[in-house]
Structure 1
Amino acid sequence: MTEKDNGAGDLVGDWMTLKEAGTALGVGPNRVKQYMRDHRLLGVKRGGEVMIPAAFISGGDVVKGLPGTLTLLADSGFSEEEALEWLFTPDDTLPGTPVQALVENRGTEVRRRAQALGAF
């Protein structure tokens, strides 16, 4: 989690603090940190505070397919910032962004693409 996010922050839109994310998930901030260590969630420092994209949480839970996608991206050598940029960059072939596809339960294609990134 670094302070510099190379513009990925502009793509994300709405952010949540650890406390806000914990409230949305029904857990404490320390559990949210554990989710980040386990690649269930991803956060970066913004303005000196760890922030999580609000799009990663829906209906009181982590968006289905996000943890597996984050693990694939990490295994492919993506930094947190690079993973955020990939997840929030529009892809005309999906269509939309990978995170939108996950929210819309189209995670198989997203994970397939993330897995292919590691092949190169």
Structure 2
Amino acid sequence: MTEKNTAAGTTSVEAQRETLDPETDAMVGEWLTLPDVAERFGVQVTRVRQLLRDNQLIAVRRGENNVLSVPAGFIVDDHTVKGLTGTLTLLKDAKFTDEEALRWLFTPDDSLPGTPVDALRENRGTEVRRRAQAEL
């Protein structure tokens, strides 16, 4: 980690994140910056950074300013979508990068139907985790 990153309060995990490819960016659609997520959750940005370190959320660098952003689809009201953390854990166990996990979560799956993140938002987490487990 560089001094610049340390001075800016960027963790080593965040410093390693690369800019998102345009195709995945388009698949996700709407994004929230870390301050936006903090505002929705009613917490400090440091708490959102902790959720990232704990793999309860994924953030990737995107846009002109290379800003860390979280898919808006991961957030419902003032919390994360039910089942997201468990699904992210399964995808991490399957050695998915953050970008690969995003592509998987936002790629339509005819057997669900819809995308895995849509199914999570509809409280169909068991179906999504079964599919994620098949990736192991």
Scaled to the shorter chain, the TM-score interval is over 0.9
More RCO (CA 8 Å, sep 6+): 1
Q: Verify: 1:31 aligned to 2:39, yes or no.
A: no
Alignment of 1:1-120 (within 5 A): 1-5=17-21, 7-47=23-63, 48-118=66-136
- Distance in 2 of aligned mates of 1:64 and 1:99: 10
Q: TM-score, normalised by structure 2?
A: 0.84
Judged with a 3 Å threshold, the aligned counterparts in structure 2 of structure 1 residues 16 and 107 are, in CA distance, closer, same or farther, namely same
1:40-71, CA deviations, whole angstroms, 9 ceiling, x for partnerless residues?
11110002110000010102101000000001
Give the SS at the match of 1:7.
helix
Q: Would you say how many aligned residue pairs link Structure 1 and Structure 2?
A: 118
Which amino acid counterpart does residue 27 of structure 2 have in structure 1? L
CA RMSD of superposed structures (Å): 1.0
Looking at CA atoms only, which structure, 1 or 2, has the larger radius of gyration?
2
Runs (4+) off by over 4 Å: none
Structure 2 alignment gaps of length 5 or more: 1-16
Identity %: 55
* Displacement of 1:4: 3.4
- Shift in Å at residue 73 of structure 1? 0.3
Cα distance in 1, alignment partners of residues 50 and 135 from structure 2: 26
Show CA shifts across 1:23-54 (max 9, x none).
11111111111111111111100021100000
TM-score (norm 1): 0.95
- Write the distance in 2 (CA, Å) between the matches of 1:90 and 1:77: 21
The one-letter code sitting in structure 2 at the alignment partner of 1:78 is F
